[in-house]
C-alpha cells in the first residue's frame, strides 16, 4: 500500500497565521495529560508561541471577514440547480452561530495571558534549560499536586480557546473542501499555474518518491519546485505526477 503525504502551503498572510494557530492548538493537545516536566514544557512552549501569534494582528476581525465571505459563497451555491439547499442552509446557520460566538468572546488568549503560572514559565522558556526545578519551584510544586487538579486547570485554559478553535475549524474545513484534487505533472521538477485568488495549495505526493515541494508565489500566481529528500544522491524525474488542490 502506497503512503501519501499531504503538504499544505498558504498563499497569503491570513492563511499562514490560521495554519500556525491550528498547528499550535493541536500541539498543545498532543501530550495531555500534563503529568511531568516533559509534557508541561511541551504544553507551555506552545501556549507561549500561540500568544505571540495572537499579538501580530487582528485575527478575530480577519476571521469575521472570512465568515462573511463564506456566507456569500454559500449564497451563490444556493442558486445552482440540483444543489442540496438543506445542507447549505445548515452550513450558513452554523457559520452565523460560530461567528457570533467568536465575536462575543473575550479578547483572544486573555485567560492564558492573565494566568500567573503561564506567565512565570513563559519568562523562563527563552533561557537554555531555564525551567529546572531550582529556576521554577512553582512549576515543580504544581507538577506534584493531584493529577485531577492539574487537569481541571488545563481544561479551563483549553476551554477559553474554544470559540476560536470552533470558528477556525469550520473556516479551514470549508476552504480545504472548496476544490478537488487533480492530477498534475511537473517537468524537470518544476510546475507553475495561476492561483485565481486561492488561499491555500494542497499537494499529495507518494512517500516512495522521496520528494518535497518548495512553493513560491501569492494568490494570483504560484510556482512549485520539487526537491529530493536526499540532497546528495536523490534525483527528480523529468516528468513527475502529483495531486494538487488549489483552494
Per-residue pLDDT of the chain (247 residues; tens, 9 = 90+): 779 999 999 999 999 999 999 999 999 999 999 999 999 999 999 999 999 999 988 999 999 999 999 999 888 887 888 888 888 899 999 999 999 999 999 999 999 999 999 999 999 999 999 999 999 999 999 999 999 999 999 999 999 999 999 999 999 999 999 999 999 999 999 999 987 789 999 999 999 999 999 999 876 789 999 999 988 887 889 999 999 999 9
Looking at residue 219, its pLDDT comes to 63
Residues 222/15, Cβ–Cβ less than 8 Å: no
Q: CA-CA distance, 177 to 126, in Å (whole number)?
A: 38
Q: Which residues contact 137 (CB under 8 A, 6 or more apart)?
A: none
Nearest Cα residue to 102 out of 174, 173, 169:
169
What is the pTM assigned to this prediction? 0.93
Domains of the chain: 31-177 (1.10.3900.10), 182-246 (2.60.440.10)
pLDDT in tens, 180-236: 999 999 999 999 998 778 999 999 999 999 999 999 987 678 999 999 998 888 788
Q: Which helix (H) or strand (E) holds 88?
A: helix 85-104
- In this structure, how many other beta carbons lie within 10 angstroms of the beta carbon of residue 109? 21
Q: What are phi and psi of 74, to 5 degrees?
A: -65, -35
Q: What are phi and psi of 71, to 5 degrees?
A: -60, -45
Amino acid at each position: 500500500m502506497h503512503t501519501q503525504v499531504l503538504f499544505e502551503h498558504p498563499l497569503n498572510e491570513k492563511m499562514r497565521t490560521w495554519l500556525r494557530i491550528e498547528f499550535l492548538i493541536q500541539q498543545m493537545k498532543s501530550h495531555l495529560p500534563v503529568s511531568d516536566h516533559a509534557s508541561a514544557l511541551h504544553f507551555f512552549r506552545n501556549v507561549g508561541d500561540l500568544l505571540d501569534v495572537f499579538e501580530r494582528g487582528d485575527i478575530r476581525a480577519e476571521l469575521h471577514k472570512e465568515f462573511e465571505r463564506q456566507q456569500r459563497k454559500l449564497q451563490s451555491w444556493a442558486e445552482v440547480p440540483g444543489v442540496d439547499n438543506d445542507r447549505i442552509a445548515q452550513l450558513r446557520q452554523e457559520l452565523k452561530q460560530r461567528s457570533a460566538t467568536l465575536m462575543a468572546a473575550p479578547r483572544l488568549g486573555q485567560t492564558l495571558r492573565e494566568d500567573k503560572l503561564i506567565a512565570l514559565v513563559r519568562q523562563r522558556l527563552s533561557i537554555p534549560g531555564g525551567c529546572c526545578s531550582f529556576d521554577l519551584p512553582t512549576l515543580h510544586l504544581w507538577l506534584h499536586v493531584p493529577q485531577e487538579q492539574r487537569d481541571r486547570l488545563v481544561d479551563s485554559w483549553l476551554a477559553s480557546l474554544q470559540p476560536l478553535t470552533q470558528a477556525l475549524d469550520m473556516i479551514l474545513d470549508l476552504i480545504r473542501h472548496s476544490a478537488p484534487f487533480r492530477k498534475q505533472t511537473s517537468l524537470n521538477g518544476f510546475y507553475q499555474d495561476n492561483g485565481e485568488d486561492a488561499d491555500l495549495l494542497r499537494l499529495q505526493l507518494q512517500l516512495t518518491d522521496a520528494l518535497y515541494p518548495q512553493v513560491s508565489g501569492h494568490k494570483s500566481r504560484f510556482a512549485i519546485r520539487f526537491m529530493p529528500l536526499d540532497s546528495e544522491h536523490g534525483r527528480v524525474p523529468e516528468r513527475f505526477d502529483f495531486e494538487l488542490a488549489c483552494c
